[in-house]
């Protein structure tokens, strides 16, 4: 097995007194796509936030490239090469698409490389080039998702954390986005940790998968084998709710500070 | 006068957009700026321009320190608590000023004092010209900074979406301190520009209240709006002072504010439904 780029061990994370992550361990080997599946409220977003430093774990450790990153501020974690594409896109609504992309490269100081990567993301998502001068807030949901992924890519990360990139997108667009994620992984060698409700799509592009239930990992295996399991087949039923959840999420108040 | 309201309103808006805090001590920062400049000129005999620069730098640093030490802790607390805190800070600044500089009224001599130019039959004193020119230059500089520099755009980004800014590796806390510094610096500039026409005393800061009205009038959160709001209030006062009975001058601005809010609750330049999440 290749060396693990990300190693999460016995992590427990709380929202106040509420324990959202109840002792979780998993690893993401370099160059692979690993997925974490789970229903609403299972704690998927919380795991990613714990990894990227937005939340600090009460217990346990997070190692990135052998370095302990738990307790670090998110901007420092990001500078180590770990980009987080958050749930719900979180673009900068009043900046243009191009400015959003440039903000993705904020930590870099090689103008040549930045220009090159800008070309690269335009090649992955031509629609972004067509909308380069438009305000990001006026893009469609799918375009914003493309922008969020591209913006993270502009940092030339070693690893990307993707939180439900398929959220609220049409099946065709979901397929398109997942194809690009696979290409980014294969062509650029970017390691990916993908959190999804769309188990079918996720299991088809990922190498290894974990299943999360109320803060605990209940199953893990290679994706090819997970696809065969009865429990997993049943789990697909949950996918149908995606549309309803999408609308609810927009109403939810942002409480993070 | 309108320009001064506009500048102070600009300070309100910058901080509000970035951190969603309303800083009621903005007017008192203006007062501090004027006093610091006065102190350097009169007590230490520093030249006007050097004292001006020192006042900006000192008040800006003070703003950043205030953010790092006090205000960063109250982000996310109820607005009410923040409002009380900044009003309290304003009172402390006034008390500090009266202990340091006394409660007398001072005049600040400037290179513009008591000079005037006649333009087509109208006499314009240089003090007013300096206010207008200063405002225009300052706005141009701020606009260029926020639009064309990497740090300026990053500040906009941090105020539009804090969490995402963190994900981009933008040091958000430092950005907020910088915004406080800029906003305090702008207040200091307004204070020094205002000093020759208004005399300096510890209650200079109450101008902040009218500037707050200007910010609301312009649609809280809009930078051009705050300037237009300021100038509008300045003009209203001017005309009310000239044509309406005595006493209306100070009320007129608020009457107009109420009228505008009744018709366009989002202010003249405000946008509706700005935040989706
Ligand atoms: N800010 C918060 N304060 C308190 N509890 C929270 C907060 N955010 C999430 N939780 C709780 O933590 C648990 C895990 O939430 P999390 O957002 O990680 O779920 P998720 O798996 O990402 O769900 P979804 O698929 O709906 O995005 C849930 O029970 C949720 O109610
Ligand atoms: Mg989630």
Q: Are A152 and B166 in contact (CB < 8 Å)? A: no
Backbone phi and psi for residue A10, each to the nearest 5 degrees, phi listed first: 50, 45
Q: For residues B275 and A188, give the distance between their C-alpha atoms in angstroms, rounded to a whole number.
A: 35
* Of residues A136 and A254, more confidently modeled: A136
The answer to whether B162 contacts chain A (CB < 8 Å) is yes
From its phi and psi, is residue B125 left (phi > 0), alpha (psi between -120 and 50) or beta?
Answer: beta
| pLDDT band (50, 70, 90) for residue B76 | low
- Furthest-apart CA atoms within chain A: distance in Å: 51
Closest by CA to B205, choosing from B110, B98, B111, is B98
**pLDDT computed for residue A132 by the predictor:** 92
Check whether B68 has a pLDDT greater than 70: yes
* Of residues B139 and A25, more confidently modeled: A25
Q: For residues A43 and A32, give the distance between their C-alpha atoms in angstroms, rounded to a whole number.
A: 22
| pLDDT band (50, 70, 90) for residue A151 | very high
The pTM score is: 0.79
Closest by CA to A87, choosing from A144, A33, A135, A35, is A144
Residue ranges per domain, chain B?
A: 2-107+122-204
Q: Is residue A192 part of a domain?
A: yes
Q: Are B170 and A103 in contact (CB < 8 Å)? A: yes
Mean pLDDT of B5-31: 79
Q: Which domain holds residue A36?
A: 4-236
Local structure of A183: helix, strand or coil: helix
**pLDDT computed for residue B123 by the predictor:** 67
Q: How far apart are the first and last CA of chain A?
A: 39
What is the CATH classification number for the domain harbouring A12?
Answer: 3.40.50.300
Residue nearest to atom 14 of ligand 1 (CA): A43
> Residue A43 CA: which ligand 1 atom is closest?
18
Q: Residue A211: enclosing H or E segment and its boundaries?
A: strand A208-213
Closest by CA to B135, choosing from B274, B259, B9, is B9
Residue A14, strand partner residues: A19
Q: Is residue A243 part of a domain?
A: no
**pLDDT computed for residue B267 by the predictor:** 63
Cα of A229 to nearest chain B Cα, Å: 36
Cα of A96 to nearest chain B Cα, Å: 11
Check whether B109 has a pLDDT greater than 80: no
Check whether A254 has a pLDDT greater than 50: no
Residues of chain A neighbouring B150 (CB-CB closer than 8 A): 102, 106
* Of residues A238 and B90, more confidently modeled: B90
Q: Are B169 and A79 in contact (CB < 8 Å)? A: yes
Q: Which residues contact B104 (CB under 8 A, 6 or more apart)?
A: B201
Q: For residues B275 and B264, give the distance between their C-alpha atoms in angstroms, rounded to a whole number.
A: 18
**pLDDT computed for residue A251 by the predictor:** 39
Closest by CA to B60, choosing from B110, B14, B2, is B14
Question: Does residue A46's CB lie within 6 angstroms of at least one atom of ligand 1?
Answer: yes
Q: Is residue A110 part of a domain?
A: yes
Whether the complex's predicted ipTM surpasses the cut of 0.95: no
Q: Which residues contact A69 (CB under 8 A, 6 or more apart)?
A: A51, A53, A62, A63, A77, A80, A82
Cα of A237 to nearest chain B Cα, Å: 28
Q: For residues B271 and B251, give the distance between their C-alpha atoms in angstroms, rounded to a whole number.
A: 27
* Of residues B111 and A162, more confidently modeled: A162
Q: Which residues contact B69 (CB under 8 A, 6 or more apart)?
A: none
Q: How many CA atoms lie within 13 A of B9 on its CB side?
A: 33
Secondary structure of chain B as H, E, C letters: CHHHHHHHHHHHHHHHHHHCCCCCCHHHHHHHHHHHHHHHHHHCCCCHHHHHHHHHHHHHHHHHHHHHHHHHHHCCCCHHHHHHHHHHHHHHHHHHHHHHHCCCCECCCCCCCCCEEEECCEEEEHHHHHHHHHHHHHHHHHHHHHHHCHHHHHHHHHHHCHHHHHHCCCCHHHHHHHHHHHHHHHHHHHHHHHHHHHCECHHHHHHHHHHHHHHHHCCCCCHHHHHHHHHHHHHHHHHHHHHCCCCCHHHHHHHHHHHHHHHCCCCCCCCCCCCCC
Neighbours of ion ligand 2 (CB under 5 A): A 44-45, 87
Q: Is residue A174 part of a domain?
A: yes
Interface contacts A/B by beta carbons within 8 Å = 80
Tokens, residue B174: 């430092």
* Pairing between β-strand A208-213 and β-strand A216-222 as defined by DSSP bridges: antiparallel
Q: Which of A93-107, B107-121, B144-158 has the lowest mean pLDDT?
A: B107-121
Q: Are B161 and A99 in contact (CB < 8 Å)? A: no
Q: Are B163 and A88 in contact (CB < 8 Å)? A: no
Question: Does residue A20's CB lie within 6 angstroms of at least one atom of ligand 1?
Answer: yes
**pLDDT computed for residue A253 by the predictor:** 41
Strands of the sheet with A67-68, listed across from one edge: A18-29, A4-15, A59-64, A67-68
Check whether A147 has a pLDDT greater than 70: yes
Mutate to test the pocket of ligand 1, among A11, A22, A36, A42 (most ligand atoms within 8 A of CB): A42
**pLDDT computed for residue A240 by the predictor:** 42
**pLDDT tens digits, one per residue of B133-186:** 888 888 888 888 888 888 989 988 888 888 889 899 898 888 889 988 998 898
B104 CA to middle of ligand 2, Å?
60
Closest by CA to A159, choosing from A257, A46, A52, is A52
**pLDDT tens digits, one per residue of A35-84:** 999 888 899 999 999 999 999 999 999 999 999 999 898 889 999 999 99
Q: Which residues contact B62 (CB under 8 A, 6 or more apart)?
A: B29, B32, B184
The answer to whether B74 contacts chain A (CB < 8 Å) is no
Question: Does residue A42's CB lie within 6 angstroms of at least one atom of ligand 1?
Answer: yes
Q: For the purposes of burial, counting CB atoms within 10 Å of the CB of B87, is it exposed (0-12), middle (13-18) or buried (19 or more)?
A: middle
* Of residues A200 and A194, more confidently modeled: A194
The answer to whether B151 contacts chain A (CB < 8 Å) is no
């Amino acid at each position: 097995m290749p060396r693990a780029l990300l190693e999460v061990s016995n992590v427990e994370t709380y929202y106040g007194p509420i324990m959202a992550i109840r002792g979780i361990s998993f690893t993401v080997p370099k160059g692979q796509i690993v997925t974490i599946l789970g229903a609403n409220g299972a704690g998927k977003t919380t795991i990613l936030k714990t990894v990227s430093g937005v939340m600090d774990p009460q217990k346990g450790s997070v190692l990135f490239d052998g370095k302990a990153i738990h307790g670090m501020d998110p901007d420092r974690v990001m500078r180590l090469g770990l980009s987080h594409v958050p749930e719900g896109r979180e673009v900068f609504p009043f900046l243009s698409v191009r400015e959003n992309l440039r903000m993705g490269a904020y930590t870099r100081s090689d103008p040549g490389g930045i220009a090159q990567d800008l070309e690269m993301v335009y090649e992955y998502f031509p629609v972004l080039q067509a909308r380069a001068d438009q305000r990001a807030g006026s893009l469609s949901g799918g375009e914003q998702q493309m922008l969020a992924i591209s913006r993270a890519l502009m940092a030339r990360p070693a690893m990307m954390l993707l939180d439900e990139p398929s959220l609220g997108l049409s099946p065709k667009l979901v397929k398109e986005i997942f194809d690009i994620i696979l290409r980014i992984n294969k062509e650029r060698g970017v390691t990916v940790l993908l959190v999804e409700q769309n188990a079918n799509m996720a299991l088809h592009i990922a190498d290894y998968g974990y299943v999360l239930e109320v803060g605990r990992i209940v199953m893990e295996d290679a994706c090819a084998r997970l696809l065969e399991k009865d429990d997993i087949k049943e789990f697909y039923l949950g996918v149908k709710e995606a549309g309803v959840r999408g609308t609810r999420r927009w109403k939810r108040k942002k409480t993070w500070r | 006068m309108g320009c001064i309201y506009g500048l102070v309103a600009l300070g309100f808006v910058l901080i509000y957009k970035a951190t969603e805090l309303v800083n009621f001590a903005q007017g008192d920062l203006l007062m501090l700026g004027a006093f610091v400049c006065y102190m350097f000129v009169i007590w230490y005999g520093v030249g006007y321009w050097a004292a001006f620069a020192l006042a900006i730098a000192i008040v800006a640093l003070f703003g950043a320190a205030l953010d790092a030490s006090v205000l960063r802790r109250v982000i996310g607390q109820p607005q009410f608590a923040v409002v009380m805190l900044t009003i309290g800070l304003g009172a402390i600044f006034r008390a500090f000023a009266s202990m340091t500089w006394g409660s007398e009224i001072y005049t600040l001599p400037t290179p513009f004092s008591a000079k005037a130019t006649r333009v087509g039959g109208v006499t314009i004193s240089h003090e007013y010209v300096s206010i207008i020119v200063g405002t225009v230059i300052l706005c141009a500089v701020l606009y260029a900074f926020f639009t064309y520099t990497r740090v300026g755009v990053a500040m906009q980004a941090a105020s539009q979406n804090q969490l995402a800014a963190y994900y981009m590796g933008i040091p958000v806390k430092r950005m907020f301190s910088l915004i406080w510094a800029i906003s305090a610096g702008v207040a200091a500039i307004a204070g020094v520009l205002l000093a020759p026409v208004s005399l300096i005393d510890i209650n200079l800061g109450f101008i902040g209240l009218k500037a707050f009205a200007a910010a609301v009038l312009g649609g809280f959160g809009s930078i051009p709006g705050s300037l237009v709001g300021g100038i509008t209030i300045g003009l209203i006062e001017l005309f009310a002072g000239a044509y309406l009975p005595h006493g209306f001058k100070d009320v007129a601005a608020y009457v107009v504010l109420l009228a505008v809010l009744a018709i366009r609750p989002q202010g003249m330049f405000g946008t509706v439904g700005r935040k989706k999440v």
